[in-house]
Structure 1
Amino acid sequence: MTGPSRVVVVGDLITDVVAMLAGPLAPGSDTPATIRVSGGGQAANTAAWLAAQDVPVTLVGAVGDDGAGRDRVAELERAGVDCAVEVHGDAASGTVIVLATGAERTMVTERGANLRLTAAHVERAVAAAPDAAHLHLSAYPLLDAASRPAGLRGLAVARERGLTTSVDAASAAPLRRIGAAAFLSWVRDVDLLLVNADEAAVLAGGLDPAAQARALSASARRVVVKRGEAGAVWVDRSATVGVAPARRVAVVDVTGAGDAFAAGLLSAWLGGADPRAALARAGDLGALAVSTVGARPAA
């Protein structure tokens, strides 16, 4: 009996500075908070959650030649992630400041060395993983012109090698800046597109979630709309529709919940699960993620 096939995850590796605010932010003054520094980045988080499910996984990304970058790679390797990370001496590793208040979080981002991720490095990393069956792209590389060639090359080389592909749309604000038409042209015919409610509104307009997913399935073969407390919807081009309610848990920190959801979805779907079972597994990991502080599985 063979185990799960390798997943190559392409995208950002970040240091998260998470501030759990004790109350509303007091502009121009002090707001008490619990502050934690940990590994983050949508792609790195998804890779860590995949590794926690015993899925062989390679993260392809970039860091600076600094202590933060070395720490981020080391902690992923301890978690079981194979790291194909290029080091850039002329840029600092990326950092995100996360202001979290229960079910809401606001991110202040410096992508740093993640902007230096190169198409050549992505191509070499995929070639160095001959056991890979799937490539998952966090869309952050696509959303900046500097790193866009790397993201596009990742999808292209995956298709050339016969890998299935998925894309997480990443973030509503940069999607809005670049426009739906451009983004959907870049991800055309990916096997799976993941969007949250805000991203779905940017890309498909103010429709109901099932209608948004159906509209987006003109670009991607399968679409999952993540709706937080309202659950998730799956639509594919064969008109299959799956709906899953959210798990009812006490929310501590939503940072990384979507990344955990993506990992659960991918591990189940790539293992042959049907849409409802894949959504259920995704919901389980998302619920686990919001129950703790930080974006990664517990050590």
Structure 2
Amino acid sequence: MNKDPDILCIGAMLWDVIGRAPRRMASGADVPGRIRHVPGGVALNVAVALARWQVSSAVLSAVGRDPEGNSLVAEAERLGVLTRWLCRDSGLPTDCYMAIEDSEGLIAAIADAHSLEEAGGTILAPLDNALAGWSGPVVLDGNLTEELLASIARDPRLSGADLRVVPASPGKAERLEPLIATRRGCFYLNRLEAEILAGRACPDAASAAEAVVGRGAARVLVTDGPNTAAEAIANGPTITVTPPKVTVARVTGAGDCFLAAHLAAELNRLPRDAALRRAVDASAAHVSGKDVP
């Protein structure tokens, strides 16, 4: 674990508690199912997925020195993620995410990222020394506070970085406004998140991606569940790819898998359409219960 990273993933690193029922659930339902405790958080999910593509990633986040944090760090390292630049001296507990899924997808979720929010800019301290002058790709997670995201948009330590930005959830999409205003970065959104940033409803992923580009973003990728995904760029053509049909086995983490596959493809210099196809296929495989590659 002494190698240098290819990518920095900045944001949430926590435990996911995912309950899944094999059938549709009504509000207030109490049904049998499975509950999993797995490493999670957008930043960590992307880093783990990148490791499967043989891309070395480091996570900048806040993780407690409690037993949950110790086991989370150990598991992340086992999965190939670099963890030596984590903020672990805040005195705060390790964060947690809880979700309930049924056969149709996500029912509800709660993200407790209070330790990450309290740690704030201290998670960026390695950019002053060990990671100074970073100019490679940086995955930014919308679990960061709006103030920190706005600060990162102006941070000279990341002025040369290739920013890849993901909201984490529709409720956090508006936090990305300061980054759109800088006309920097590549944004990875689902259609609802894109509609929030565009300020209007959109009939499909292509129109949603184009609407966010119209707001000032340079490059936007939008997914829409089993429907066609799209990539729009400023002053260029929009491209689309339709996902393969799969049986839904899980939904949490699909967007993170999409981002990782797309970024890994671009690091391998695949053209736009091939990179989008790889991302869509990887996300579909994840939803079906498979890990790729």
Separation in 2, partners of 1:233, 1:134 = 21
Q: Deviations over 1:258-296 (max 9, x none)?
A: 100010111112332222111111012212211228xxx
- What SS does the corresponding residue of 2:61 show, helix, strand or coil? strand
More strand by share: 1
Separation in 1, partners of 2:282, 2:292 = 12
Shift of 1:20: 0.9
TM-score by length of 1: 0.85
- Where do 5+ consecutive residues of structure 1 fail to align? none
Q: Deviations over 1:67-106 (max 9, x none)?
A: 1111111111111111121114532211111101134112
In structure 1, what is the equivalent of residue 289 of structure 2? 292
Equivalent position to 2:180, from 181, 184, 187: 187
What is the 5 A alignment of 1:42-191? 42-83=42-83, 84-105=85-106, 106-125=108-127, 127-129=129-131, 133-143=136-146, 148-149=147-148, 151-157=149-155, 160-175=158-173, 180=174, 183-188=176-181, 189-191=183-185
- Where do 5+ consecutive residues of structure 2 fail to align? none
- What SS does the corresponding residue of 1:170 show, helix, strand or coil? coil
Give RMSD over aligned pairs.
2.5
- Percent identical among aligned pairs is 25
Question: Contact 1:58 / 1:82 at 8 angstroms: preserved in 2?
Answer: yes
TM-score by length of 2: 0.87
Matched pairs, number: 283
Separation in 2, partners of 1:212, 1:191 = 17
Change (3 A) 1:158 1:59: farther
Give 2:264's aligned amino acid: S
Shift of 1:234: 0.3
Question: Contact 1:13 / 1:94 at 8 angstroms: preserved in 2?
Answer: yes
Question: Contact 1:164 / 1:191 at 8 angstroms: preserved in 2?
Answer: yes
Give 2:140's aligned amino acid: L
What is the 5 A alignment of 1:169-248? 169-175=167-173, 180=174, 183-188=176-181, 189-204=183-198, 205-208=200-203, 209-217=205-213, 218-248=215-245
Q: Deviations over 1:146-180 (max 9, x none)?
A: xx32x3444444774522111012211233xxxx4
